[in-house]
């Protein structure tokens, strides 16, 4: 009601996805900015229209889908999993087999996008459900170790099933993001090439960005809606107090299986999109570090919230680029002159083989940490820091800022 925005007169209005005018406005403005990004018309964000930044934003959208899957399992159902990378690998290779070139060296059937993309999620979900009975019998740290075993099993299978994966050293190419009705020569929509789309000239990175953005928005809507359903509430009751939930009639075993299945479906779709987006992937891509990245996404962003997953994914995926650009800037400052800033930054970056610094900017092996190693350290420190000081992650920080703004100038 006008003047009393938090006064709800029905359960429908209270449980709406955008239950306040502020949420509707921010969601609309955010979507408008994302749509306009490739056209370089958003003030202050023109650099995001470049091809490399659009590829990075596409990666964010793909990882959002995978992060939502882990959030359903970890944030809603309270089940710890370190095997997310395995299910992403399953989805990727299902897509490779179904959509791969039938005349190529590796196994492929040449099916269109609208078949291999959902199939990647369905097969991953079936494997997740099949694995579920063994996983739901344990909890906590033991469940983490059980799911961790999946990563090592998958690593062995992916490396040695050469007809499907291409082997450990070479890998294989994945079907491109092209929409066909069946197996016609020319695709109806080619997201991988420059050209006119709906009468507008777009580069290939912009086309791909729009496609994965639409997919991410769809899965965000499904995940947000799941929280409001009976199944979503059952997941949350198991997370909060599983024994009490079972006493009240919640089937713990069945709902944990559902959580594993839904989470694996999201992971399979995300893996298929990621592999198709990259083009050529070796089996070692689906390793433990990828699973840890998704753990970091959920914990840093805020477990149990869709907005937290988006914030955490943006932070984790964009952080390496920010660290890399900052490292190169510090390297240039050190090489330029004898200023006080250069002297201080020389302690941070190593610019030659005899220099010692925290971050190594030399090609190959050198003193200090590489950018990749530094990112790993930052991930670990952030996970520890957020678990100790802000369990709700970036979303929790946003809630505090929002509540402070609402209550200003009063502090109570």
pLDDT of residue 377: 84
Rounded to 10 degrees, the C-alpha dihedral 282/283/284/285 comes to 70
Cα dist. 223→17, 89, 219, 276, 399 in Å? 11, 22, 6, 23, 20
Q: What is the pLDDT of residues 319-367, one digit of tens each?
A: 888 888 888 888 888 877 777 888 788 777 777 666 677 777 666 666 6
pLDDT of residue 88: 96
- Using alpha carbons, select from 149, 134, 129 the residue that is nearest to residue 83: 149
pLDDT of residue 3: 55
What does pTM read for this prediction? Answer: 0.91
pLDDT of residue 5: 61
For the record, the structure tokens of 328 come out as 């190169």
pLDDT of residue 331: 81
Low-confidence residues of the chain: pLDDT under 70: 1-6, 352-355, 361-367, 411-412
pLDDT of residue 216: 97
Q: How far apart are CA 139 and CA 131, in angstroms?
A: 14
pLDDT of residue 353: 67
pLDDT of residue 408: 76
191 CB contacts (<8 Å, ≥6 apart)? 176, 177, 178, 179, 204, 207, 208, 211
pLDDT of residue 1: 47
């Amino acid at each position: 009601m006008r003047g009393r925005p938090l006064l709800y007169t029905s359960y429908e209005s209270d449980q709406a996805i955008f239950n306040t005018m502020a949420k509707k406005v921010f969601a609309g403005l955010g979507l408008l900015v994302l749509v306009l990004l490739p056209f370089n018309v958003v003030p202050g964000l023109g650099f995001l229209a470049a091809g490399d930044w659009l590829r990075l934003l596409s990666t964010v959208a793909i990882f959002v889908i995978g992060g939502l899957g882990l959030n359903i399992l970890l944030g809603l159902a309270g089940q710890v999993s370190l095997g997310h990378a395995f299910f992403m690998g399953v989805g990727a290779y299902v897509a490779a087999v179904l959509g791969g070139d039938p005349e190529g060296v590796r196994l492929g059937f040449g099916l269109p996008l609208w078949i291999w993309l959902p199939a990647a999620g369905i097969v991953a979900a079936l494997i997740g459900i099949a694995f579920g009975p063994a996983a739901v019998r344990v909890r906590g740290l033991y469940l983490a170790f059980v799911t961790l075993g999946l990563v090592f099993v998958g690593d062995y299978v992916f490396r040695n099933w050469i007809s499907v994966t291409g082997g450990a050293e070479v890998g294989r190419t994945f079907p491109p993001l092209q929409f066909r009705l069946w197996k016609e020569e020319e695709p109806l929509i080619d997201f991988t090439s420059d050209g006119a789309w709906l009468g507008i000239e777009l580069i290939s990175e912009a086309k791909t960005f729009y496609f994965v953005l639409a997919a991410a928005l769809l899965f965000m809507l499904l995940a947000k809606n799941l929280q409001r359903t009976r199944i979503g509430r059952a997941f949350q009751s198991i997370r909060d107090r599983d024994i009490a939930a079972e006493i009240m009639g919640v089937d713990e075993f069945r709902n944990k299986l559902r959580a594993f299945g839904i989470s694996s479906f999201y992971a399979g779709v995300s893996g298929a999109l990621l592999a198709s987006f990259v083009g050529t992937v070796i089996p070692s891509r689906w390793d433990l570090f990828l699973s840890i990245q998704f753990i970091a996404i959920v914990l840093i962003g805020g477990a149990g919230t869709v907005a937290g997953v988006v914030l955490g994914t943006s932070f984790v995926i964009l952080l390496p680029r920010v660290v890399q650009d900052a490292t190169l800037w510090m390297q240039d400052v050190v090489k330029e002159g004898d200023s006080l800033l250069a002297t201080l930054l020389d302690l941070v970056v190593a610019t030659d083989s005899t220099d010692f610094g925290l971050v190594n900017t030399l090609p190959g092996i050198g003193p200090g940490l590489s950018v990749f190693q530094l990112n790993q350290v930052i991930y670990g420190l952030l996970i520890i820091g957020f678990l100790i000081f802000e369990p709700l992650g970036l979303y929790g920080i946003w809630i505090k800022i929002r509540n402070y703004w609402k209550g200003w100038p009063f502090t109570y």
